[in-house]
Structure 1
């Protein structure tokens, strides 16, 4: 069965470091046997179709191919279009009422438990807020991510030890859902 996936690369093309040109990423994904490869922005978002069904294996193959081609390691998450849509649909914040820079989703490599964030006092960061979803964290930052004190706390290595996460603003979340559902009812 053919499935459409999004590959979410972490920390590439930031301030000229760890450069992965999107044209080369598209070629690399095609060389891995994927079809209908498209990219979005320069920040490491790619959409493709494949008959494979193991997201972790797809991510591992892409990580290895990137390291071989570009000479540095890049963490990757691969998620199905159905998953991306479910995450967007489950957003606990009024997404339609907010600017894209105010709402973010951090996708994680595994489920998160509330206990992982027990040391974070949500009241200390209001009006910023976060909620946990299925392998996702929703983050509301009224002044944007760059000024967010809560985002700084939530990304501390001690809180995220042993898991991979990568964040996308709401505009990108919506665009990736659209891209992975192109041509589907």
Structure 2
């Protein structure tokens, strides 16, 4: 069995796409996932499975949610090792910035095309910088995510890939949960 982290996009935000994590844990367990744990209400799930195809896992989780909640949710699945790699290779190392929620991790479902990376890199954002890698866009927002112009939606639109964003604290907790 391998440990995976499923990251759901756009649930329990402003009263939309509401999913109780306790209910989702049960649904996933009923569908063969093992040791299912969730972290906060924003759609972070750590689980074990013998399935090794991440795309298949993403589709299965999305289908379970659509069948039971009647709405679509983009799902990004990463391994604990991938989360650890993303954290280790974070170009924004200033601990004060990390602790004050200025650094965000936009986790990509797949690697964007080079020409799409160039399009996003060509845009300049005041008080914001970014670094694009094959599986993550590292985003530094001096004024915090609430005032950011470089949003998850914009990144998805320019890179033409599905993505979901997490802060540093959440990434650390998911890494810890996946490695237990």
The TM-score, its normalising length taken from structure 1, stands at: 0.89
| Residue of structure 2 equivalent to 1:116 | 116
* Offset of residue 121 of structure 1: 5.9
* Offset of residue 122 of structure 1: 6.1
Task: Kindly indicate whether the alpha-carbon contact (under 8 Å) linking 1:103 and 1:138 is maintained by their aligned counterparts in 2.
Answer: yes
| Residue of structure 2 equivalent to 1:168 | 166
* Offset of residue 118 of structure 1: 2.6
SS in structure 1 of the partner of residue 150 of structure 2: helix
* Offset of residue 59 of structure 1: 0.9
**Which range is displaced more, 90-99 or 46-55?**
90-99
Unaligned runs of 5+ in 1: none
* Offset of residue 82 of structure 1: 0.8
Distance 1:50 1:127, change over 3 A: same
Partners of 1:96 and 1:118 in 2: CA distance: 29
Partners of 1:59 and 1:42 in 2: CA distance: 19
Summarize deviations over 1:117-148 as a string: whole Å, max 9, x none: 43346683243110012311000001111101
Q: CA RMSD in A?
A: 1.9
**Which range is displaced more, 127-136 or 169-178?**
127-136
Task: Kindly indicate whether the alpha-carbon contact (under 8 Å) linking 2:4 and 2:78 is maintained by their aligned counterparts in 1.
Answer: yes
Task: Kindly indicate whether the alpha-carbon contact (under 8 Å) linking 1:104 and 1:139 is maintained by their aligned counterparts in 2.
Answer: yes
Partners of 2:152 and 2:80 in 1: CA distance: 29
Partners of 1:121 and 1:107 in 2: CA distance: 17
Task: Kindly indicate whether the alpha-carbon contact (under 8 Å) linking 1:111 and 1:135 is maintained by their aligned counterparts in 2.
Answer: yes
Aligned residues: 179
Q: Where in structure 1 do 4 or more consecutive aligned residues deviate above 6 Å?
A: none
Partners of 1:180 and 1:119 in 2: CA distance: 34
SS in structure 2 of the partner of residue 171 of structure 1: helix
The TM-score, its normalising length taken from structure 2, stands at: 0.91
| Residue of structure 2 equivalent to 1:137 | 137
Task: Kindly indicate whether the alpha-carbon contact (under 8 Å) linking 1:103 and 1:141 is maintained by their aligned counterparts in 2.
Answer: yes
